[in-house]
Amino acid sequence: MKPDLHIPQPLRLLDQMREVLRYKHYSLRTEQAYLYWVRFFVRWHGRGGTMRHPKSMAADEVRAFLTMLATERNVSVSTHNQALSALLFLYREVLGMDLPWLQDLKRPTRPRRIPSVLTQPEVVALLGALDGDVALLGKLLYGTGMRLMEGLRLRVKDVDFDRQAIMVREAKGGKDRVVMLPRSLLPSLKAQLAAGRVRWEQDRQRGASGVAVPDALALKYPDLGRRWGWFWVFPAPALSLDPRSRIERRHHLYEERLQRAIKLACAAAGIYKQVSVHTLRHSFATHLLQAGTDIRTVQELLGHSDVSTTMIYTHVLKVAGGGTTSPLDALSTALSPTECREPEALYA
């Protein structure tokens, strides 16, 4: 009798792409986004009832899909670029089709916009309207210039109270950097870690799987995720399933917690600017420059590769705070008192 040999079946397209994305250590968010766009691309071209494999499609189909996104869906430039990146990854990395027409696909140009920045009184009002762990997280993001996910992924071992510094690990572009630890947050941050220690000990007693750690370290040191130093500074209140490994473990605080809290805080503080969590980072950089910090230092604190990216904040300072006088103000003494009145007085 012949042995029952298991012949592995070829992977489906999306499974192949998922495998390559994980092999190249792309983030979970990028993996989810790229899989979405490839699925959308295949289904959109198969809307007539006949599904086609991407190997049988080429430049015309890719351009038609991208044109539809821009003209019918009215997607933003960043979304349009993400869809194009997903398709380029599919053809080059998964299907191995480095065809000439791939080089001819043009990316839309992203408009350069002046960031929304809060004044210092507005920052005080906004942060004062937050409470709980999101209040500490909001203060930490403004006080260090960290991005939202950089703050959420902060681990106990990366907070150095002695040197009053925070090590930001695997930030945008896979780079590490050091930022200051605001002295005013030392008591609150120590209290946060004390509460986290209690939660970590409870997880240990229940035999939980700890927290996620980078893949290579997880293989080399299987127990690393259960160590206190690797625990989250902002842990989630409950255990959850890891979307990749399907292991139940402690995740960090969900990002939408602060995003929702910021919107409610803006309404409570009477702030009507367009404000997001990232506005705290913009305000951090602008206020440092306003206080006389040199732009190279701000560049390093923000983790920008090119100083031209940091220069955008100097455009805010050129006009903001009365730095440039309007020509109308030079004529104010020549204008009649009636012309200089407030609009409310004119229509009273």
Per-residue burial over 189-205, b = 16 or more CB atoms within 10 Å of its CB, e = otherwise: beebbeebeeebeebee
147 part of the active site: yes
Query: Catalytic site residue 24?
Result: no
Of 63, 80, 157, 172, catalytic: 172
The H or E element containing residue 167 is strand 165-168
Q: Is 244 a catalytic residue?
A: no
- Whole-Å CA distances, 98 to 38, 57, 63, 92: 17, 14, 16, 5
Q: 3-state class of 248 per DSSP?
A: strand
Amino acid code (one letter) for 199: R
The answer to whether residue 263 is catalytic is: no
The verdict on whether 23 is a catalytic residue reads no
In whole angstroms, what is the distance from residue 186 CA to residue 181 CA?
8
Is 53 catalytic? The answer is no
Four-residue CA torsion sign, 116, 122, 124, 129: negative
CA dihedral 14, 18, 19, 24 (to 10 degrees): 140
Could you tell me if 185 and 139 are in contact, meaning their C-beta atoms sit under 8 angstroms apart? yes
Which of these is catalytic: 147, 155, 226, 249? 147
DSSP state of 224: G
What element of type H or E holds 54?
none
The contacts of residue 189 (CB under 8 Å, 6+ apart) are: 136, 140, 159, 161, 181, 233
By annotation, the residues acting in catalysis are: 147, 172, 278, 281, 304, 313
